[in-house]
Each structure stands twice: as structure tokens, then as C-alpha cells.
Chain A
Amino acid sequence: MRDTRPLRLITCGSVDDGKSTLIGRLLWDTKAVKEDQAATLHRDSGKQNDLGLPDFALLLDGLQAEREQGITIDVAYRYFATDKRSFIVADTPGHEQYTRNMATGASTADLAILLVDARVGMLEQTRRHATIASLMGIKQFVLAVNKIDLTGYDRARFDQISHEFRELALSLGVRQITAIPVSALKGENVVYDGRASMPWYEGPTLVEVLELATVRSAQTVGFRLPVQRVSRPGESFRGYQGTVAGGSVKPGDSVIILPSGMVANVTKIVTFDLVRNAAVAGDAITLVLDRQVDVSRGDMIVSIDSQPQTGLAFDAQLVALQSDGIQPGKRYWLKSGSRRQRVTIEPASQLDLKSGKWNPAQSLPMNAIGKVHLSFDEQAIFDSYEQNRTTGAFILIDPDTNNTVAGGMITGRRSSLSGIHTEDSRVILSLPADLADQILASELFASRREEIELRRVNAGRAAEIFDGIDG
């Protein structure tokens, strides 16, 4: 029945574009609403619309404050399924001051549905939401041109809006775009097709697009295991527990432990059910290594031939989530995977969501999206967010309030601090892999790991490089 992982999606749009109605309609038409909930819905719907249909938005806007104000103020998660797959929907607020909630919903989403009121067309908010969604790594967009019933099913209007949107999405680097004319209220082109009123539209319904969308997987080829805890139930067993954040692993693989740089081999992958012969991204496992190495929570066990970046300085983009914004020079806690460490933030620029331009900035107010420099006291370990949405993502915690004040995405390491300084004298070696592993495993090497640049290449490539240097 469910042969894929659940698809996570987010709905965005301006207030009153019909987001809640659309999700309510999805739940309704996929039979995710039970009879007694429906009865409550009919009862609560008080003032109904002209069509005598219930107010589907009430299925979503759970908090009483929201009902009273008639708006959505927080991210709500909803669940529905078709025969082909199941879905987790984040319904997020439309108001500008809730951009942070949208970023929260977008952080885990594989696909974004952007709603536009067919009578109004694209708004500044649409650009804002599309920009945030793409920054948070969403690569699949669906444009739902909603309330198409109120335009008399005007095809020209639909074509015009979808053309404008396509240009916007392409400018953000998003290439998977589907535009659909929809009436969320009447349920046209949501789960059931709207051919009766829109014979001119021959594309898929919303649900058909969702069923065929791809679920993101970690893009790095290299194995990544952020260590959550060390399991030592007795003298004879020592296992490293965590969720594989990229790549895959099997017994016999050589791995390196970061930040120490120690090398070891995998002997076993233990789970409750059986000893496994491989684990892939997403699997929660316990890894056993062939030798006594010092591994603790916050370390990362990675493949030897494709490592993440380690260093004391990185560049990132972040979304400021709290009213204090992000202050320059302040020390925050940064948490990424299971690793938590001190960091200082230097804002560099802020995105102007209207123009799409990055303007210089010294600090970032709430809801701002900024580019920042991160400086650490101790080695940090990251992939770029582009390559890995787990090992490239982090949150910032304000030590004064303990609140989560930013969500961030690594763009890269700042090379000036990678251990190589112009005045240093360096040696480039080309060694057989097994000899390199032995050296890597030595104490002396491990103690100066951060001063070393390491690239694994095959013999042919090494020869080329040396030719290049000599010639």
C-alpha cells in the first residue's frame, strides 16, 4: 500500500487565499475526516458560504485564538493518505510577521504549494514565500491558482498568472513547477478533476502531482553518522547510536571520526531486529567499530573518502525567528545534528524580499533572512546545505532565554581559517591508501588534524597533480 516514505509538503500564500480551505478539502476528499469531526465542523461553521458548504478551514485552525481572529498563527501539521502514498502537510500562516513560521514548516518539506487568489494574482507575499521555500531547499513547486470559480473559470487569467509565477520560480533556480487552476471550496482539481467547469485544463489534479513528487534524500554520497549517544550496556559491547544523515555504510567500511580524525573499521550494524549488512540515510542504527576509539555524543562518524568540512569558520544563510533578531558579536549556542557548540555571528547582508537583492547589514531583525559568518571556538563539522539538508542545517539558541532564535543553512567553509596560512610551509604527499590510513590513525596526526588538508584521489589523478606542480 505505502511503497514510499511520506511526502512532506507546505502550503504558502497570503491571508485569505484559501490555504486552510485547500488543506481542509484535501483531508475531506481523501476521507481523512471522520463523521464526528464532520459533525463538529458543520456545527462550528455557523455562518456558511453561499454554496452551503462547510468551512473546511475549521479543520485546520485548531487553536481557539485563531478561530477568534480568523487567521492561522502557527504551523499546524495534518495527515492524509491516498492509495499510493501518505502525506504530511504543514499549514503555515500568511501574515508577514509569521515568515518565521513558514521557514519552520519549509525546513522539512519536499514540496511547496503556493496559493494565489485568481482574482488578485501574484502579490509581494507570493514572491516572499517562494523565496523562503527555495532558500530552505525546496525544489518542487505547485502553483494553485485558487478561487478560479470566482473568475468564471477564466483561462486567460490562469495562463497569465502561471506565466508570471514560472518566471519567478526560474529566477530562484526552481525548475519543477506545476500550475493548476483550483477551486478549493468546491473541490475542483484538488482530488477530483474540474473538467466539468474547466474543459480547457488538461493537466493533473493537485493530488496527482503530489503522488508523483519525489521525496528528498540526503544528497551527499559520503556516509554521515552524527553520534547521539554511546551505548555501553556491558563490558563487552560498545556501540555508537545515531541516525544515518547521508550515504550508506556496511561492515568492513573504513570510517573516520570527526573532529578527532581517528580511523577505524565498521564491524557490525546492530538494530533490535537483526544485525544488518548495510544501512542507508534515514536509518536509526547502532554502529560497532573494530577498535577502542574515543567517540562521544556530538562527534560525527564519516566515510574516509568523502568527508564533510571541518574548521573554525563557516558561512551560512539564516532566518531570524525571534523579536530580538540576531545581534553581531553575541555568543549563541549552535546545534547541528547532535553537536552543540558556542558560536559568534557576524551578519554580512540581508535579503530584500521585494527585489531579491542582498543588502549589506550589521544585524538582523526578526523575520529577516541574512548571510552571516560563523566563528567557533572548537572545530565545527558541516556539509553545505545544498549537499546535505541534515549535516548542513543548524539552529541557534540564545543562552539568555534558551529560545530557538534562528534556523541556518551552511553555504561553505571560510577557507582563510582552514589551517593553511600563507606563511606556513607545507608538504604535499602522495601515499598508498593503506599507509595513509595508518598515519591518519596515529596519535600525533590526530592531535594536529585541523592543520591538515586531505584529499583522496586515485593514482592517475595524483600523477596528474604532481605533473601539474612540477611542470
Chain B
Amino acid sequence: MSMPTATGRFGIEWQLVKGITCMLLALMLAPICMVLVISFTSGETLQFPPPALSLRWYQEVWTMLVGPDAGIGRLRESLLVSLEIAALTSLVCVLAGVPTSYALVRYRFAGKTVIEELIGLPVVFPAVVLGIALLVLVSASDLNFGIFQIVAAHSIIGLPFLMRNCMAAMRGIDPMLEEAAMTLGASAPKVFREIVLPLASGGIGSGAILVFILSFNEFTLSYFLYSVDVFPLSIWLFQQANTSFSPAVFAVSSLIVVVNVAAVLVVDAVIGSRGSAA
């Protein structure tokens, strides 16, 4: 973006740009702010603005999570399942994505462009279609994959995000560092462990956190693939919203927003301090 000129900064165009930007931001943030505000209501309903502010719904959520009846509402169970799915998805994406990224960055081989295209595909592929396809696949197999059918689905859409970060970090590594390590007696696996992994750790770490958030928030694929035993938080929220609509749901949503923002801040910090180190 170029700097506004002296006349531009005070001119009508600049005012217009500023106005539109503010409006878009407001449009984006307003619903989220509303959720946040309502979650602090002292009332029983979703009335806006709230009659008074209180923490009673957070207290309620706390009881739902750790109270003696935590098993009934299934909030705790859903949260734990979602965390588990997100962690496993990150792990799968790291294990599959890091070596693949390295191969794509360093080597030329037959089918390289095909792989590159395939990896980008889930980003533009409609999740609903992917969900239906996977559901058909899972039903046809007649097996119970439990948590892993959602992990697999999330990994498919998470992999491009991990690999994009990972490949950017690896492209920043001077190949001569790897060659220097070789001449100093390091075999290929040792070069990877000693040079590539540490220098790409910022990209890998930020990619893994992104995938974690993506999986934790994901709804569409989860909706097709959840079961009675595997009931992710996004599905729990959806069902609550369809049935009870108590302000507690808004408190849970607000907590999710906080977790998301925190994760984004961590990614920013990681990229800022290590992503550019190579």
C-alpha cells in the first residue's frame, strides 16, 4: 500500500476509504461483540442490551465443565473431544506435511506440480461436498473409525495451511547450510534433524497452531462425521443453539473467541521471532 499523499490524506477519497473500512470492520465485529456483551448478561434471556452485567453465565459454564453434573450436559466431553481432534489433526498434518514440504522445496521430481495442485485443492473445494463424500466412504466401509474419521477429514483441509507455512520457512533456508552440514559429516537424516527442522520450526509451529484452530472451529465436516460417541464442541454449540439458547451458549462462544484470538497472537509472536530467522 502506498502512503497517502498530503492532499490525499485530507481529500474526499481518503475520507471515503476510511469510512468504508470502518464500516466493514464494524459489520464484521458487531455480531461478535454482541455475543460477548450478551454473555455477560445478568438476565435469563438473550435481551440486548442486557439489563445488567454479571458473570453468572460464566459461573454456569464453569459448573457445566467441572461440576458434579458435568457428564449430563456433555459440554466437558465435547470440549475434550474437540481438543483431542485438534491436537491429533495438527500432529497428522505435521507428520505428513513437513517431509512433503521439504521434498517440494528442495527436489524436482515427476508429478511435483500435480502434488502442489492437489495440496491447494481443499482450500477451494466445497466442504459440504467433501463431507458428503467422506460420509459415503465411511458408511460404505461399515467400520467404526471413531474419532479418526473427523481427524482425517480435518487433516485434508488442514494440510494446505500447514504446508504453506512450512514451505515458506523452508524456502528461507540457505541450501548451503545443508551442504555445509553434509561436508561436516552429517548424513541426510541428520541434516534434516539438525539444520532443516530447527530453522523451519517457526513455520512448522505456526502452521500447526493454525491447523489446531481450524480443526477446533470446524463445523461442516464435523457435522457429517460426528457420532453419538464423538461429539465435537462446534456440534454441541449448534445443537444448544437449536434447543435451549441460554446465555450460557454465548459464554461458551465468547470463550472460544478468546482461545482463537490467543492462538492468533501466539502465531504472530512465533512468526515474528523465528519465522524470519532463517
Q: Do A and B bind each other?
A: no
The chain A residues found within 8 Å of chain B, CB to CB, are none
